[in-house]
Each structure stands twice: as C-alpha cells, then as structure tokens.
Homo-oligomer: A and B are copies of this chain.
C-alpha cells in the first residue's frame, strides 16, 4: 500500500471526475463553479485514498516551494553559542504556524564562495533568512540587489537590506550607568568575535560611546577579542587582565563569553563581583542560574527570529513592510555579577 503512490489521477477516478476538478476542489475554495456535492465526493475520495499531493509537482506547476532558506553564516558557531538556537526557534515557530518549511544551510570553509546559488538559482526556496551576515559578503549584496526576498538577522548596512537587528544603546547605556554608579572607572571589554565582525564591533563602539557620556574612555588596550566560545573568552580575559591589571569591571561580548570571563577571574584569584564586576549580553536561558547570577543585557532572540520570519513572509506575499530595517530594544537585567568597585 505504501509502495503505490496515490496521485490526483487516482482520486479523480475514484470520485468520478476529472483531475482538474480534484485540483480545484483541494486548492481553490473560492472557485464557486463547483457543486457542493462534487466537492464532498472529491474530498471523501482523497481522504479514503490518503492522497498527499507530490510537492515537486506542485513546485513545478505553481512556482512556489513553500520553503524558506536559512543560512548560518558561520556554522561552527551553532554548537558553541546559545544565541542562534534561540533565533532558530523563533523562526521555526512562525513557519510552523504558516505551514512553511525551513531549509537549513550551514556555511563553513568547505562551502563555496556563493552558498546562495545552490538554493536560489535552483529554485529550492521562495525566500531567505541570513543569520549573522558579514558585511564583506559580496554574493549576499548582489542577492539583495537582485530583489530576491532576503531578510537579515543582523545587518550588513546595505541601504536596500531587509533586516531585524538590535539597537543596543538603551541596554548598554543602562549597564554603563550601573557600573559608573557603583564607582567603576577603569572598565574593559572582551568582544565576542574578532574585529571585522560587524555585530561584535558594534557592541564595542556602543560601550565606548556610553562611557564617553560619563567622561570615561576605554583605550584599545582595555579591549581584547574572543572567538565565540567560553574558552576563547577565558584566554582573552587572561590576556586583558595581564595587560590592564587595574580594571575593575568587564563587559563581556555575550553571555557565553561572560562564562569565560568569570572563569578567568577565578583563575587569577579575583572574586566576582567583589574584585571584578562582569556584565554579559544576550541573557541566555541559563544565565540567571550561573554562579554568580549574571547581570546582562537582555535580548529577545526568539522574537528576533520570529520577526525576521514574519517580515520575510510579508515580502513573499508581496505585502509592504512597515520598515525595511527593524530594530528591537534591549534592557539591562540586574543580577549578582556587579558590585561596588574595590
């Protein structure tokens, strides 16, 4: 029974109508030119046979795949950082509601220079979401300019891009004020990725600007660079604290990095928050349960994913979007990893 696939032809024969009628009944509920009785007969036949339209046939005929692509610009981050899985969850939720499918494509050194071709040019997908895009990604720029529906989670600062991003200002200025109020003056930072990675750079310069508001500076020597993992955060922090031993507070590029920062502090005999205050970024689900509970800037990554998916769906439907670039707010969540400067 599973061996013989059921086609619309079988349904048509069983219901005593033509194949066209079957297609009309099943897809176009608005076509009035069909009697209720025929409708019912076709529906019953389809149900009895367990008919499921072949998707390849549909794609070919209709031109729509009912599938969106999802490209993770650096696949290696996926297992290391807690952020992407949340975005992914948000995207998945929306697509499930809408009955869309998600084609997941990771990208790494083994991928060619243009991972979009394989999805777009072969018409496997109707639209695309790109996570953590890099601004030097030329094929991506070309894709955006070609008007193919693309939504970025992140940004490459292209005027025509559609994107969902965070304006970190509110959260970071609140975090900075907290530290200043607690008496901190020498504040450092461990970025979550190397210079050139837009999102990471943006956080560093946002912190710089916020500090300037209070008449403070963060010299280049007070910044070190990690590489997504807690381990890299650990090593970066050790370097940083050796170079700048009198720092009393550290911004971690994100919560995963913050784990490494706190670990390095412990290894160097500094207590958090007594000797060193630490502020994270992201507010991952477990961050409230770390030791000490992490003070961090909360980002609703699930919502970010959901909004990106909804924006893409609007694009696919040809509906206008309110704004090409959406920016979400974030806010400080005070917990236990910050205290008065020593």
| 8 A Cβ contacts from A30-71 to B | 50, 52-57, 59-60, 65, 67, 70
Knowing A85-B84, A259-B286, A286-B256, say if A106 contacts B93 (CB, 8 Å).
yes
Give A272-311 as 1s and 0s: 1 = Cβ < 8 Å from B's Cβ atoms: 0000000000000110111101000000011000000000
Q: Which residues of B contact A117 (CB under 8 A)?
A: 52
Bound: A266/B290 CA distance, A: 10
A143 to B: closest C-beta gap in Å: 10
- B89 and A289 within 8 A (CB): no
User: Which one of B89, B103, B263, B290 lies within 8 Å of A103 (CB-CB)?
Assistant: B103
Number of interface residues of A (CB under 8 A): 67
A29 within 8 A of B: no
Bound: A88/B301 CA distance, A: 19
Closest B-chain residue to A148, C-beta based? Answer: B2
Bound: A96/B110 CA distance, A: 8
Bound: A281/B144 CA distance, A: 44
- Which of A72-80, A127-135, A180-188, A324-332 sits within the interface? A72-80
A102 within 8 A of B: yes
Bound: A103/B104 CA distance, A: 6
